[in-house]
Amino acid sequence: MDWLEEYARENNIPIMQKEGIEFLKNYIKEHNIESVLEIGSAIGYSAIQMAMINPDIKITTIERNKALYNEAIKNVKAFDLTKQITIINGDALDVHIEGTFDLIFIDAAKAQYIKFFEKYSKNLNDNGVIISDNLNFHGLTDKPEEIKSKNLRALVRKINNYKEFLKNNSNYTTTFLDIGDGISITKHTTNSDRRL
Ligand code: SAH
Ligand code: MG
């Protein structure tokens, strides 16, 4: 696992931060999650981490970049996890995924999070959870107006729009955590949430 982290660092591949991945693994263990849909595999690091929790966990992960997809395939083989991890090469906004999952992990293009959520929330189990990564975006989301680069400012605004979208979505209840680069945990709103 260290060599994968090393490879990601050397090649500037934005894999999940240590604190974030530890949180995700604990969440999966505590909630007995067995099926995961991941949007954004990169080199397969987070998928491998999740699959290694136990052999009953099945992961489907989508990656649009062909070179990263090839790298992910290679890494999943190296960890002998091909039975647990299915990697799909394609744009998550184009591919069609059947079935429902206990966990949907959104960790791809930050500007598209609302679209990913809208497309894939139908693939969520009734008691399932959608976890999204990088919602603090290196601490930039607090002060978008201070960002000099126009593209970056637009991106950070889109992340903030996603947070607003989650907060205002009464069908779902979201908790935001300052873990790693900022994580949200979204579940279907239940009657007990409504009473709060
Ligand atoms: N989850 C990985 C890191 C993913 S980095 C880990 O923690 O190990 C984000 C990845 O999402 C990049 O590799 C990028 O190519 C991919 N990506 C971005 N937009 C995408 C899209 N629309 N569909 C599929 N993959 C996408
Ligand atoms: Mg991330």
Distance 196 CA to ligand 1 centre (A): 35
Residue with tokens 């992340």: 159
**Cα→Cα distances 140→43, 52, 130, 134, 157, Å:** 25, 32, 23, 10, 10
Q: 63: CA distance to ligand 1 center in Å?
A: 6
Task: Report the alpha-carbon distance of residue 33 to residue 26 in Å, rounded.
Answer: 10
pLDDT at 186 over 90: yes
Pair of tokens at residue 149: 């680069």
Atom of ligand 1 nearest to the CA of 46: 8
Per-residue pLDDT tens for 123-158? 999 999 999 999 999 888 888 888 899 999 999 999
Task: For residue 196, name the pLDDT band (cuts at 50, 70, 90).
Answer: low
Beta-sheet pairing, 101-106 with 35-39? parallel
pLDDT of residue 184: 97
Pocket probe mutation, ligand 1, options 17, 24, 36, 41, max atoms within 8 Å of Cβ: 41
For the CA atoms of 30, 34, 37, 40, the dihedral, rounded to the nearest 10 degrees, stands at 60
Residue 162's nearest CA partner among 123, 106, 124, 122 is 106
- CA 107 to CA 183: how far, in whole Å? 10
The answer to whether 189 and 29 are in contact (CB under 8 A) is no
Amino acid (one-letter) located at 166: L
Q: What is the pTM for the complete model shown?
A: 0.96
Per-residue pLDDT at 59: 98
pLDDT above 90: residue 174 = yes
The tens digit of pLDDT for each residue in 17-60 reads: 999 999 999 999 999 999 999 999 999 999 999 999 999 999 99
